Homo-oligomer: A and B are copies of this chain.
């Protein structure tokens, strides 16, 4: 928990986190081994444990770091902006995160799939509160006739699932699409989808 001091500490700390992300995002916590992480980091296993007290500590460290960035885009949803553009922007930001940080998305997915043993409190606390707050905003937009009447919670779920899908199921997406870059065409498709769903008649 103490902040790294020396350059070497700072560097290796980061190297291990990167390696842990690579490994844990593929196999989940239980499916990953310290040796895998060590090899990905280019360090020996005891050397890993010099920087982190345990396998779980690495995993927890990753989740903490992840959750900060994860909730950020939703925070940015501005109640005073143009509703359709705000929600479209949110979806765009989430899609960009799937493109630029697919391993983070997958790490989150494995944690949830395994029953969220580590972050369930965050889901039921911070996230739940944040979603409820933004749902109020969306309901306000609906009441004002600025967007179509949609279920706010499910709208948010829709944005999450549609965007994260391209990171979490990347292998499947590419198996079907072949060479083409999924994200370029996905951006176009999602913009059209959300605009159509949200724009009042």
Q: What residues of chain A have their CB less than 8 Å away from a CB belonging to chain B?
A: 25-32, 106, 109-110, 112-116, 120, 123-124, 127-128, 131, 148, 150-151, 153-155, 157-158, 160-162, 164-166, 168-169, 171-173, 175-178, 185-186, 188-190, 192-193, 196-197
From residue A35, how far is it (CB to closest CB) to chain B in Å?
13
Is there an interface contact between B161 and A127, defined as CB atoms closer than 8 Å? Answer: no
Most buried by B among A110, A113, A186: A113
Q: A113-B168, A123-B176 are in contact. List 16 more A-B contacts (CB 8 A).
A: A30-B30, A109-B113, A110-B110, A115-B171, A116-B175, A127-B176, A131-B176, A150-B192, A150-B193, A153-B176, A153-B185, A155-B189, A157-B165, A158-B162, A160-B165, A160-B169
Q: How many copies does the complex hold?
A: 2
> In the assembled complex, which residues on chain B have CB atoms less than 8 Å from the CB atom of A171?
112, 115-116, 120, 123
From residue A23, how far is it (CB to closest CB) to chain B in Å?
11
- Chain B's closest residue to A130 (CB) is B176
15 of the cross-chain contacts (CB-CB < 8 Å) are A25-B113, A26-B113, A26-B114, A28-B113, A106-B113, A112-B171, A120-B171, A127-B172, A127-B176, A150-B189, A154-B185, A154-B186, A157-B165, A157-B173, A161-B162
A158 to B193, CA, bound (A): 10
- Chain B's closest residue to A164 (CB) is B161
